Amino acid sequence: MLKVAASLTAHLAPNYHPLEVELTTGEGSWVTDVDGKRYLDCLAGYSALNFGHANPELLEATHAQLDKLTLVSRAFDHDQLLPFAAELTELTGTEMMLPMNTGAEAVETAIKAARRWGYQVKGVASEQATIIVADNSFHGRTTTIISFSTDATAKDAFGPYTPGFRIVPYGDLDAVRDAIDDTTVAVLFEPIQGESGVVMPPDNFLPGLRELCDEREILMILDEIQSGLGRTGTTLAQDHAGIRADLITLGKALGGGIMPVSAVVGRRDVLGLLTPGTHGSTFGGNPLACAVGRAVVRILKRGEVQESAQRLGVMMRERLQRIADAGHLAEVRSRGLWAGIDVEPQLGLTGRQLCERLAERGMLCKDTHGSTIRLAPPLTISEEDLHTAMDILEGVLNDQAHEVGLD
Ligand SMILES: *Cc1c(COP(=O)(O)O)cnc(C)c1O
């Protein structure tokens, strides 16, 4: 693996600690580094690459739009925006869409819309609105969003923080109920916590939350930026619970791994409160982003990637369970083609060390924290390639177990 020259790293802010690979091309589930070594990409851009690298259908739509019109700003209409809004709301079973760029901006937009609804419709006293959120959540990196983070690394020394959030234990419906008062305008949760290591709430949590929100007249906001758009075997992760949130944030895979495209979709009576001048973005809803987003929606509408996420997810689960049964994983959590695995502590291997060894053998992953890593290969990965990835993982863990005398 190539070691990047220290003289070059001096010019880059050190807010990431990447594995020592320097990639130069990508196709499907495979990426190649500057030395020509190939790796299976089992991070897939934190699920921004659900449809693989250089997806031909997405590239074609992008190239076609590049030659026509790329940016007009929202000062003018263009021919991609209204069709994108219609197609994305149809796909997600919602009424209205507000386009942004990054995931964090979509979350900020949902927070603003919920607060406005709280003041203008629910009648919450001015400046008093609260939103209930979960511990160990991840919703982005803006100052307001880190204000309700429980991750000290993400939060410390960035204050003063934005008030108006109440943190409850994730998946605890009684705690949500207890946190509600006259100031509560919304709850904001991930249907499955991604950065936290693919953590699922109890089965009754989302349906119970839906009922509670209806009963207490509170908006239910679900952040599907990482869990959505096919990853769990359904278009949205909340489909498993058979519910629809009032506002849903989408991002990551909505940009097809090509560019940042995000959106809030949801109720017309809520998003409709964001009238001209109250919210916006220079790049949000630009023609190129809309063309990419429309091509993503077209793929998802066919349902094939959701089906393969489901089918391959079963296979991945079986392979991971076998490794757990051998005593090398302490826990496996998965839904669709998305898994969080905790390395057995006795192996004495941090998530980071595991990722380094996997990379040596041609598989790219990222640790989330401690000895937990997340597996999220492109949904377009072949069965054979997924078996190869599982072989590599199994091999590294077997060798380590042998090394420490655990086999
Ligand atoms: C990645 C992520 C975000 C933030 O998206 P950015 O595009 O990095 O701003 C928000 N919520 C969830 C659940 C995410 O996984």
pLDDT tens column, 206-251: 999 999 999 999 999 999 999 999 999 999 999 999 999 999 999 9
Which of 205, 252, 283, 367 is labelled catalytic? 252
Contact in structure between 335 and 314 (CB atoms under 8 Å): no
Indicate the DSSP class of residue 163: P
What is the reported pLDDT for 406?
Answer: 87
Cα–Cα distance between 163 and 27 in angstroms, integer? 44
Please say if 165 is a catalytic residue. no
- Check pLDDT > 70 for residue 3: no
pLDDT band at 6 (very low <50, low <70, confident <90, very high): low
- Check pLDDT > 60 for residue 119: yes
> For ligand 1, is residue 52 a contact (CB within 6 Å)?
no
Mean pLDDT of 72-85: 97
Cα–Cα distance between 236 and 258 in angstroms, integer? 21
Predicted TM-score (pTM) of the model is 0.97
CA dihedral (239, 240, 241, 247) in degrees, to 10, reads: -30
What is the reported pLDDT for 2?
Answer: 52
The dihedrals phi and psi of 42, each to the nearest 5 degrees, come to -100, 15
- Check pLDDT > 90 for residue 156: yes
Please say if 122 is a catalytic residue. no
Question: CB under 8 Å to 109, separation ≥6 — which residues?
Answer: 98, 100, 249, 264, 274, 279
Q: Which of 101, 79, 118, 105 is nearest to 260 (CA)?
A: 101
Please say if 399 is a catalytic residue. no
Which residue's CA is minimally distant from atom 15 of ligand 1? Answer: 226
Read off the amino acid at residue 263. Answer: A
Percentage of the chain beyond pLDDT 70 is 99
